[in-house]
Amino acid sequence: MKKDLLKMDDLSKEDILDILNLADQLKYEHKHNIPHEHLKGQSLGMIFEKSSTRTRVSFEVGMYQLGGNGLFLSSRDLQIGRGEPIEDTARVLSRFIQGIMIRTFSQKEVETLAKYSSIPIINGLTDDEHPCQVLADLMTIREYKNILEGLKVVYIGDGNNMAHSLIVGCLKTGMNFSIACPKDYMPKEEYIERGRELAALEGTEFVVTHSPLEAVVDADVVITDVWASMGQEEEAKIRQKAFTGFQISKDLMTLAKQNALVLHCLPAHRGEEITTQIFDEHSNEIFDEAENRLHAQKAVLVKLMKTN
């Protein structure tokens, strides 16, 4: 039976750790020029309805390094852009290629694509979830801290797709998780409820608050994202006002642990969600996090698409 990665909850704790372990191995082989052509002769279709830097480059290069081929498919170039039902696109592409990565707006579109395709589907980003980025985040945290279980991860900012996937990914891997968002920009209630379930199952702490100062105390890792995501540009000025006090700054970081990591999925708006000073001080881990998109996604590709 085919497997998909549509959301973080598609992965068990064991699945996540298997992916991270394989990602570490692939990164080691990459750094030492050891070939790992696990997907030789296979093709990944990459559908983009949202623009991208890291997602496109990392998947395309990743498939090349795995011995396969990445096909860039803009919605402007596909019949999807002219009204062909996603169901038909799924059936057609399933006859030509061995996997699809889609970066789009609606989670429902990704779910429909998976329902009607006979090949693995990977969510490269939707308005609800960003599982590939969170796998790279977890990989980066483990690289720097040598452990996941028991760490305190804090997310400060918009209760968006990153917040949703982080809630699930961090709590599933045994970390304590605190999230601080303005009152009108909280994560969807279903993710808050799921977070409480996972925290109870894992025996970890899950804190939801409107106070960054409360959330960040004794943090091992602090994560943020832009205040206005793609498609929300017209709200930028309103959001800047609403997010006053939610900036990752030197003052805020004095409440975290002295050796706390700062992560950002990029692109960053320095001077908004994070100060230039803090970004520069933590640029090593932020750009390691960006690089780890390549290695974590290669691991996902191998896990989903390798046939023997």
User: Is 181 marked active-site?
Assistant: no
194 has catalytic annotation: no
229 annotated as ligand-binding: yes
Q: Is 76 annotated as a binding residue?
A: no
- Which residues partner with 155 through β-bridges? 179, 223
Which of 4, 265, 282, 297 is labelled catalytic? 265
Residue 295 annotated as part of some ligand binding site: no
103 annotated to bind ligand: yes
Task: Catalytic residue, from 38, 42, 65, 103: name it.
Answer: 103
- Please indicate if the annotation marks 130 as binding a ligand: yes
Token pair listed for 6: 């549509």
Active site residue 56: no
The reply, when asked if residue 161 is annotated as ligand binding, is: yes
Residue 265: active-site member? yes
Is 277 part of the annotated catalytic residue set?
no
Record the tokens describing residue 217, joined without a space. Answer: 């105390």
What one-character DSSP code corresponds to residue 148?
Answer: -
> Does the annotation list 181 as a binding residue?
no
DSSP-derived 3-state class of residue 197: helix
Q: Binding site annotation covers 204? A: no
CA distance 122 to 112: 12
Say which of 130, 142, 164, 194 is annotated catalytic. 130
Sheet architecture: strand order including 176-180: 206-209, 176-180, 152-156, 221-224, 261-264
Strands 99-103 and 121-125, bridge-based pairing = parallel
Q: What is the DSSP string of 58-121?
A: HHHHHHHHTT-EEEEEETTTSGGGGT--HHHHHHHHHHH-SEEEEE-S-HHHHHHHHHH-SS-E
| 170 annotated to a ligand binding site | no
Q: Say whether 95 counts as a known binding-site residue.
A: no
Q: Is 55 annotated as a binding residue?
A: yes
To the question of whether residue 132 is assigned a binding role by annotation, the answer is: yes
Residues in a beta bridge with 177: 153, 206
Of the listed 225, 239, 282, 295, which one is catalytic?
A: 225
Distance (Å, whole) CA 35 – CA 60: 16
Q: Which of 133, 158, 170, 295 is catalytic?
A: 133
56 is in an annotated binding site: no
Q: Pick the catalytic residue from 38, 194, 282, 293.
A: 293
Contacts of 16 (CB under 8 A, 6+ apart): 135, 138, 169, 172, 173
Give yes or no: 293 in active site.
Answer: yes
Residues 31 and 195: beta-carbon distance below 8 Å: no
The residues that are catalytic are: 103, 130, 133, 225, 265, 293
Q: Which residues are annotated as part of the binding site for carbamoyl phosphate?
A: 52-55, 79, 103, 130-133, 265-266, 293
Annotated binding site: 52-55, 79, 103, 130-133, 161, 225, 229-230, 265-266, 293
**Binding residue numbers for L-ornithine:** 161, 225, 229-230
